Amino acid sequence: TPFRSYEFIETSQPRPGVGQVTLNRPKALNALCSPLIAELNQALADFDASPDVRAILLTGSQKAFAAGADIKEMAPLTFSEAYTTSFIESWSSLTTNVKKPIIAAVSGHALGGGCELALMCDVLYCTETANFGQPEIKLGTIPGAGGSQRLTRAIGKARAMELILTGKNFTGREAFEWGVAARTFATWDELLEGSLKTAETIASYSKVAVMAAKEVVNKSQDLPLRDGVEYERRVFHSLFGSNDQKVGMKAFAEKKKAEWTDN
């Protein structure tokens, strides 16, 4: 994979099949200014298009995944500027355009837009002490990148309403107990290693099946159950048209390791 040079992020390929984006704006605790989001979208689009990448890891630093949208950039915005430029809309590109799974590895602050960014990813891992929250109410505003919707779906209305109305933070341990995070880790190093291991596991499967699995699970967040089950069945049927379904099932019968063709 050829890498571009960026100002606010770093990209790498730490393991075969795994593309990593590291948010890197340490002076502002990775506050998500518009140019950073543009770089992030570019890097994710490159990984999504790269035949060498099969799973993506998104992380920040030990101290901060991201401390939110850039408050200094937002402070002078007017309604008409925000409305006519569709401010914040491009943040969701990650959920609408990227077809490969993204694992968020969260350590330190994940506040406001940082919490929302983590919630947009497909698998969320964090340290026990990670600091999540939607503090927008303290700034005279509300979550604007899906926080009120994704957090509420993830942890239920009672808890989400309390958190969003009080601006109170919650820990990585709570994120795990409430089902936001799939796993927690004691240290930053363990978090990164655990996230890379999972990315490698995902990267070892058929690209076609992995992308289909991500697509159908995400559909469950948008569709009523009956429609979701029908959608899943359509996609399931369609995979009988893939070569890798034959490869995988034949390998099982022959007690061999599947050699995926990505077809």
Catalytic residues: 69, 113, 116, 136
Residues within window 133-162 making contact with ligand CO8, judged by CB under 6 A? 135-136, 139, 143-145
C-beta closer to ligand CO8: residue 129 or 245: 129
Residue 54 lies near ligand CO8 (rule: CB under 6 A)? no
Q: Which of 17, 101, 113, 172 binds ligand CO8 (CB under 6 A)?
A: 113
CB of 73 to ligand CO8, least distance (A): 7
CB of 141 to ligand CO8, least distance (A): 6
d(CA 95, CA 122): 9
SS3 category, 190: helix
User: Which candidate, 13, 40, 41, places its Cα nearest to that of 24?
Assistant: 40
Residues in contact with ligand CO8, counted by CB under 6 A, come to a total of: 22
C-beta closer to ligand CO8: residue 67 or 203: 67
> Quick one: angle between helices 207-219 and 225-238, nearest 10?
170
d(CA 143, CA 121): 17
Q: What is the CA radius of gyration of the chain?
A: 19
How many whole angstroms from its chain centre is CA 73? 23
From 46-54, 111-119, 192-200, 255-263, span contacting ligand CO8 (CB under 6 A): 111-119
CB of 191 to ligand CO8, least distance (A): 19
Contact present, 42 and 8 (Cβ < 8 Å): no
Distant-in-sequence, close-in-space partners of 55: CB < 8 Å, separation ≥ 6 = 17, 18, 19, 100, 101, 103, 198, 199, 200, 202, 203, 210
Residue 112 lies near ligand CO8 (rule: CB under 6 A)? yes
From 7-15, 25-33, 174-182, 217-225, span contacting ligand CO8 (CB under 6 A): 25-33
Residue 60 lies near ligand CO8 (rule: CB under 6 A)? no
Using the structure block, give the residue that is written with the tokens 């048209």.
241
Q: Which of 17, 68, 101, 172 binds ligand CO8 (CB under 6 A)?
A: 68
Residue 232 lies near ligand CO8 (rule: CB under 6 A)? no
CB of 206 to ligand CO8, least distance (A): 36
Residue 69 lies near ligand CO8 (rule: CB under 6 A)? yes
What are the phi and psi torsion angles at 20 (to 5°)?
A: -120, 135
Residue 94 lies near ligand CO8 (rule: CB under 6 A)? no
d(CA 216, CA 239): 12
Per CB under 6 A, residues contacting ligand CO8 are 28-29, 31, 67-72, 74, 88, 109, 111-113, 116, 135-136, 139, 143-145
